């Protein structure tokens, strides 16, 4: 059964405009069809389509699950976009599939890419959410300057910066996970790593410096490993 984004009320559901178009025009769906609808906030409804118009496809809620497959942790990954968008997109797809709640793109000293197309990224994340039948849509934040990002208030979060400077003491991510953080924020640097100034600035804002292992990974591999490790360690 296909999954669509939409609004869910007590007994009815309305697909979003774009999703309505997709259902009616692309998939040529019909009244009586059964679909899944999610609001991206944990609600997942089984819906029987009752009316199809140009802008809105509506249906009757047959079954409603709340907090559908809710994880027991909240993961926010802040990542410097990779030079090749393809690699970043693959990361986004996999991270959504495995479990990520929030993504921020970081503009860092060594960043090679200074811009991202946020609409395209939102599309990828939406599509991965639908593909893997999830009821929580990860939040996507636009490109943010490193120095502004670290100043934000991340109340209740275990804040981490992953870097490769071997002469600066780092805590293994494994050790961080043993404390069972409920909310975890991990910053992943660009190909050239975070600058030392950035590392020290993060330290000043109470970020824990972490290592992901003995290997130097590509940016998107490091980010993927963090997502896998958090899922593996906290679930």
State the residues that interact with a copy of itself by CB under 8 A: 90, 94, 97-98, 131-132, 174, 213-218, 221, 224-225, 228-229, 231-232, 235
Q: Is 107 or 219 the residue whose CB approaches a copy of itself more closely?
A: 219
Residue 161 CA to residue 187 CA, distance in Å, equals 5
Name the DSSP class of 30. Answer: -
Q: Is 24 or 230 the residue whose CB approaches a copy of itself more closely?
A: 230
Nearest to 160, CA basis, from 144, 139, 181, 191: 181
Smallest gap from Cβ 6 to a copy of itself, in A, equals 23
Residue 48 CA to residue 51 CA, distance in Å, equals 9
Smallest gap from Cβ 56 to a copy of itself, in A, equals 31
Residue 197 CA to residue 209 CA, distance in Å, equals 13
Smallest gap from Cβ 204 to a copy of itself, in A, equals 31
Q: Is 1 or 153 the residue whose CB approaches a copy of itself more closely?
A: 1
Q: Is 158 or 219 the residue whose CB approaches a copy of itself more closely?
A: 219
Q: Is 200 or 232 the residue whose CB approaches a copy of itself more closely?
A: 232
Smallest gap from Cβ 221 to a copy of itself, in A, equals 5
Q: Are 78 and 185 in contact (CB under 8 A)?
A: yes
Smallest gap from Cβ 94 to a copy of itself, in A, equals 6
Residue 53 CA to residue 64 CA, distance in Å, equals 24
Q: Are 164 and 143 in contact (CB under 8 A)?
A: no
């Amino acid at each position: 059964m296909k999954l669509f984004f939409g609004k869910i009320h007590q007994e009815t559901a309305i697909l979003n405009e774009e999703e309505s178009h997709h259902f009616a025009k692309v998939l040529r769906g019909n009244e009586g069809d059964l679909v899944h609808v999610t609001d991206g906030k944990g609600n997942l409804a089984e819906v029987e389509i009752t009316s199809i118009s140009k802008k809105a496809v509506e249906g009757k809620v047959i079954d409603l699950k709340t907090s559908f497959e809710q994880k027991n942790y909240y993961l926010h990954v802040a990542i410097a976009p990779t030079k090749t968008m393809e690699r970043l997109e693959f990361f986004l797809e996999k991270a959504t599939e495995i479990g990520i709640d929030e993504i921020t793109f970081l503009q860092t000293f060594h960043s090679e890419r200074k811009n991202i197309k946020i609409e395209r990224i939102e599309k990828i994340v939406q599509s991965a959410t639908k593909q893997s039948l999830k009821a929580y849509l990860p939040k996507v934040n636009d490109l943010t300057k490193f120095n502004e990002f670290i100043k934000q208030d991340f109340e209740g979060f275990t804040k981490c910066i992953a870097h490769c400077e071997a002469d600066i003491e780092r805590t293994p991510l494994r050790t961080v996970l043993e404390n069972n953080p409920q909310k975890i924020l991990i910053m992943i640097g660009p190909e050239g790593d975070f600058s030392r100034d950035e590392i020290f600035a993060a330290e000043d804002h109470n970020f824990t410096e972490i290592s992901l292992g003995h290997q130097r990974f590509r940016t998107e591999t490091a980010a993927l490993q963090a997502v896998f490790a958090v899922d593996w360690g906290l679930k």
